[in-house]
Amino acid sequence: MQLLLPRLRKGKSVIGGLYINGEWFCHSLEPPPDRAEHPCIPAGQYEVILTVSKRFGRLLPLLVNVPGRSSIRIHRMNRAEDSEGCIGPGFEVSGWTIGRSADAEVALMRLLQAAKERGEAIWIDVKDAYEA
């Protein structure tokens, strides 16, 4: 399974989209790149595995081998302040926040778990595609 996350605009947060195998899935939210502590991760391609998060106590996607970072997950959030560098999915976007993030996380996990059950590897390609 291939995930694509183009980052579309940056300001108080980074707003993008999340595509699964080329199809639009939801919006995404990350902390801004200039945040001193826990900024967004570098653009790149990362393997995604499913593990139980100690912080959240549930099965979540974990990005593997992020340069200089660890414990980067995709999890529900609404604002950049809710993130320690992770990626938030959401079905709604308003300004610099996302909404219906819990719904998006649940739907995403269903798809990722099904891919794992089929024996598929999961990768995410994070791209900087900011508006000029």
| Domain CATH code at residue 96 | 2.40.440
The tens digit of pLDDT for each residue in 25-82 reads 999 999 999 998 999 999 999 999 999 999 999 999 999 999 999 999 999 999 999 9
Position 130 confidence tier, pLDDT thresholds 50, 70, 90: confident
**102 pLDDT higher than 80:** yes
Domain of residue 59: give its range.
Answer: 2-128
Number of domains in the chain: 1
**118 pLDDT higher than 80:** yes
Nearest to 126 by CA among 6, 39, 34, 36: 6
**pTM of the predicted structure, to 2 decimals:** 0.95
Query: Residues 93-121: what's their mean pLDDT?
Result: 98
